[in-house]
Structure formats: C-alpha cells, structure tokens
C-alpha cells in the first residue's frame, strides 16, 4: 500500500469508525462562517490542534451520537475551502505565521454524503497565539480571546493553556526536531533578505527595499513521512533545481544557496525539509541588472519586468512538479502551493528590454501602491501539468492588477510561457 493509499484509508476510517480523541474531533453539519458561534469554535479547535501536533476535524456528524448528520448537504460542504478557511484562521492570528491546513472532501461509503475533513498540521516554530477577541451573535462571552494560547487535551477538549505542565509540553514541541537547526524557513528567508540588503547598500547598487519572489510547496499528507538527506539531495539534482554543488545538509533538511559568477547579488535561497516541504526565495533580476533605462538601477522608478514575472510564475509551478516527481510523490497527491511577490510598492511595470516592444507600450509607467502580492492554492502535479498556462495567466493577472493593469493579453502570456517552457521543460 502506498502512502497515498494509506492516507485515503485513514480518512475513510474517520467516517466509518468515528471516535473523538485529542487529535480527532467531529462537528455537526453547519456551514462555515467566521462570524457565527460554530465558525469561531471551529477556528478555536484548529488553533488548539495546531498547537498540539496537529489533527483532523470531521464535519457532518451528530455531536452526541457520532452518527452522520442528515443535515449535511452539498451547500454546507461547499462552504469549506482550504484557502478561505486558512485566511479566516490567519485573520485571528493576524498572519504571524501561516496555518498549515487542508480541507479534504470525503464520500461516506454508506450514506454517500460528502464530508469535509479539515486536516491541521502542527506549528513549525512557535505556537499560534489568538490575537483577536471574537464572539458570535448567540454567545454571551467571547469564544476567542486575545492573548490566549489554545491546546487540545486528551479528553478531546480544546481549552486555553494555563498550567506549568501545559507550558512544559508546549516548550518540548518547540524544541523538537521540526526546526532547521532551531530556525525555520521564514527566519532563514529574513536573514537572506537582510544579507542582500547589506550587500546592496554597501556597494551602492540600489536603495534598500529590493523585490523578491518567495514560494512554498507544502505536502498535506498526514503523518509527515521523512526522507533521508541522501534522498533529498538526489531529488534536488534529478529535478534540475540545482546543478549538484553547494548543497548543505541541515538538521531538518537540505539548504541550497544558488549563485552565478560575476555578481554577489545574483543568488537564490532554497530549502527542502525532510517532510517534503520546499521553500525558495530569489531576488528580482531587475534589481541587480546592469544600469539601464529599464533596470531598477537605471530607471527613475524600480522596474518589475512583465515578461520575467510571467516566467518566474510558470517556473515556480513546474518546479514543484519536477521536485515531487523526483521524490516519488503521487501525481494526484495534494500539496499547498503559495507564491508571494514582495517589494512591489512604487515599482512600475515594464519590459526586460526595448526589443520586447510587444509589452512596452502596454505597461509603461504603471505603478503599484501595494508592497506584496500572495497567491495560494491546493494543487496536484497532474493539475499543474494540464493547467499551467491558465494558472500562470490567473496569477499574473492578479499580480498586475496591483499596477492598475486589468489583464495581460492572453496571446502575450501564451507566447512568453510557450517560449520559456520549450527551452527549459519537458512535460
């Protein structure tokens, strides 16, 4: 039985043999809304599970009998979405760190009802703290309270952390083997950005506030299987994500610093952890290109090159396919893919060269008032392979909307992506 089969069997067992415990909870068939008592309590349980190693919440069972709730309809199921639920939780924590959850839609073999199953992974570096006080319309007292840390208890209850024993258990989780030599990818990204800022400032290349694209590909499978360092290094080389040198084994995975001759700034930072999650950060090429009218250092406004931005997006999509193929992950196994562009404020859309006049007259001098753009979606390798052109256009349109640019012509996206993929990818 493959890992994917095992995970599917586990989800089916949650439906056919229900039983509440510390890492599993069952909730009635109510639609999700972040303004109702039910929705706020669900968020509380998610925070509790994230602070206690993770778990699963099954929607559509009677709280008392643990039998399928006849009120579970397709309309109720449709209100549970990975991206929307994650966003609701992160509004409560004020985005201090991303919540790692995924919503599966599982069919009960007897009733044929479709049950949402919310799978929550444990925190990566520090516990989630509730940073908002919220109560629903029918609650006499707040359901969520600012400053509280919620945890799950062995009796399948969620409550706030309060005893010395609670703190000791939480600290043990913080110091367990989930860190990258006591640092997570976000911390390492921050250090990389700080180093780039320092190098840029000391060489007078460009002002602080350069741009970057940051991505995360996070496997959603329960149980967090662990790959060896040798397997990770082999997958990185096989996938073409790195030529094979300068791979550094860390406690929790493999670190990759990518550089090119001739420039100390042309670097990327990448990290693949032993649970299969992959993170990368790269500074914009526009910010270290030799000074010219359309580079960040030669133009009166910092540039975001439209053609390069589209290439970076499709590269991120297809690199995740290459990586997980090399790791032996199933083609229909879900993972969360997030793409973040930072350092956008006061930049103008442009083209990478005057030769690309196709884009020049369309985007000249459009400036962003926002500093960052985030796109996130649950995907599979097969989905990306069949939809990478459409996904690239979708992400590009939402990114360029920050520049008051309604839509990139479809033929422009198609041309850029086709040329790029034909040179670098074999699908």
- The CATH number covering residue 118 comes to 3.30.950
Domain count, the chain: 2
Q: Which of 174, 201, 232 is a domain's end point?
A: 174
Quick one: 198 and 114 in the same domain? no
User: Which pLDDT value is given to residue 252?
Assistant: 72
Quick one: 214 and 274 in the same domain? yes
User: Is residue 304 assigned to a domain?
Assistant: yes
Q: Is 207 helix (H, G, I), strand (E, B) or coil?
A: coil
Indicate whether 342 pLDDT > 90: no
Instruction: Identify the CA nearest to 190 among candidates 260, 258, 83, 271.
Output: 271
User: Is residue 321 assigned to a domain?
Assistant: yes
Quick one: 238 and 120 in the same domain? no
Q: Which of 142, 174, 206 is a domain's end point?
A: 174
The lowest-confidence range among 160-164, 180-184, 327-331, 386-390 is 180-184
Q: Is 209 helix (H, G, I), strand (E, B) or coil?
A: coil
Quick one: 148 and 191 in the same domain? no
Question: Are the C-beta atoms of 40 and 135 separated by less than 8 Å?
Answer: yes
196 backbone φψ class: left, alpha, beta (φ>0; ψ -120 to 50): alpha
Instruction: Identify the CA nearest to 25 among candidates 155, 123, 193.
Output: 155
Instruction: Identify the CA nearest to 59 among candidates 25, 102, 87, 88.
Output: 25
**Which pair of structure tokens corresponds to residue 287?**
């910010």
Quick one: 199 and 221 in the same domain? yes
Q: What is the Cα–Cα distance from 114 to 12, expressed in whole angstroms?
A: 11
Quick one: 23 and 150 in the same domain? yes
| pLDDT band at 69; cut points 50, 70, 90 | very high
Question: Are the C-beta atoms of 391 and 317 separated by less than 8 Å?
Answer: yes
User: Is residue 318 assigned to a domain?
Assistant: yes
Q: What is the pLDDT of residues 122-144, one digit of tens each?
A: 887 678 888 889 986 776 789 99
Quick one: 134 and 192 in the same domain? no
Quick one: 343 and 296 in the same domain? yes
Task: Report phi then psi at 338, rounded to 5.
Answer: -125, 140
Q: What is the Cα–Cα distance from 197 to 206, expressed in whole angstroms?
A: 9
**Which pair of structure tokens corresponds to residue 108?**
């009960």
- The whole domain housing 339 covers 185-424
**Which pair of structure tokens corresponds to residue 267?**
């670097």
User: Which pLDDT value is given to residue 356?
Assistant: 62
User: Which pLDDT value is given to residue 202?
Assistant: 40
% pLDDT > 90, the chain? 32
Q: Is 210 helix (H, G, I), strand (E, B) or coil?
A: coil
Q: What is the Cα–Cα distance from 179 to 172, expressed in whole angstroms?
A: 12
User: Is residue 179 assigned to a domain?
Assistant: no
Helix intervals (H) in 133-292: 164-174, 185-202, 229-239
| pLDDT band at 8; cut points 50, 70, 90 | confident
Q: Which of 174, 209, 234 is a domain's end point?
A: 174
From the number of C-beta atoms within 10 Å of its C-beta (0-12, 13-18, 19+), residue 48 rates as: buried
Quick one: 49 and 104 in the same domain? yes
- The average pLDDT across 286-303 equals 68
Quick one: 315 and 286 in the same domain? yes
Quick one: 212 and 110 in the same domain? no
User: Which pLDDT value is given to residue 201?
Assistant: 44
Q: What is the pLDDT of residues 386-401, one digit of tens each?
A: 999 999 999 999 998 8
User: Is residue 180 assigned to a domain?
Assistant: no
**Which pair of structure tokens corresponds to residue 376?**
């996130």
pTM of the shown model: 0.57
Q: Is 276 helix (H, G, I), strand (E, B) or coil?
A: coil
Quick one: 55 and 104 in the same domain? yes
């Amino acid at each position: 039985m493959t890992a994917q089969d095992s995970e599917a069997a586990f989800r089916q067992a949650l439906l056919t043999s229900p039983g509440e415990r510390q890492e599993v909870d069952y909730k009635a068939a109510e639609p999700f809304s972040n303004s109702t008592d039910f929705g706020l309590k669900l968020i509380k349980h998610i925070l509790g599970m994230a602070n206690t190693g993770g778990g699963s919440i099954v929607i559509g069972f009677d709280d008392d009998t643990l039998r399928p709730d006849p009120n579970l309809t397709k309309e109720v199921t449709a209100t549970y979405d990975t991206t929307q639920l994650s966003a609701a939780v992160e509004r409560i924590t004020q985005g201090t760190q991303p919540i790692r959850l995924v919503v599966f839609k599982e069919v009960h073999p007897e009733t044929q009802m479709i049950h949402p199953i919310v799978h929550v992974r444990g925190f990566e570096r520090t516990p989630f703290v509730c940073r908002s006080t919220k109560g629903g319309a029918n609650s006499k007292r707040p359901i969520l309270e600012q400053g509280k840390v919620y945890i799950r208890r062995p009796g399948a209850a969620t409550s706030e952390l309060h005893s010395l024993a609670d703190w000791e258990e939480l600290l043990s989780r913080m110091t367990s083997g989930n860190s990258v030599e006591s640092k997570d990818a976000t911390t390492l990204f921050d250090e990389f950005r700080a180093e780039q800022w320092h190098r840029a400032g000391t060489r007078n290349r460009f002002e602080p506030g350069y741009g970057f694209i940051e991505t995360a590909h996070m496997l959603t499978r329960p149980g967090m299987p662990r790959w060896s360092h040798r397997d990770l290094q082999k997958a990185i080389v096989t996938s073409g994500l790195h030529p094979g040198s300068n791979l550094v084994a860390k406690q929790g995975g493999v670190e990759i610093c990518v550089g090119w001759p001739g420039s100390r700034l042309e670097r990327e930072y990448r990290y693949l952890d032993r649970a299969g999650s992959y993170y990368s950060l790269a500074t914009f090429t526009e910010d270290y290109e030799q000074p010219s009218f359309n580079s960040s250092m030669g133009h009166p406004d910092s540039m975001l090159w439209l053609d390069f931005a589209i290439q970076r997006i499709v590269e991120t999509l297809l690199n995740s396919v290459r990586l997980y193929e090399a790791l032996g992950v199933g083609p229909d196994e879900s993972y969360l893919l997030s793409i973040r562009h930072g350092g956008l404020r006061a930049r103008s859309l442009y083209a990478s060269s005057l030769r690309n006049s196709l884009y020049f007259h369309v985007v000249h001098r459009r400036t962003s008032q926002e500093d960052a753009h985030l796109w996130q979606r649950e995907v599979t390798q097969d989905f990306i392979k069949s939809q990478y052109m459409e996904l690239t256009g979708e992400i590009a349109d939402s990114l360029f909307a920050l520049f008051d640019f309604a839509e990139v012509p479809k033929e422009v996206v198609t041309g850029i992506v086709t040329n790029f993929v034909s040179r670098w990818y074999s699908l």
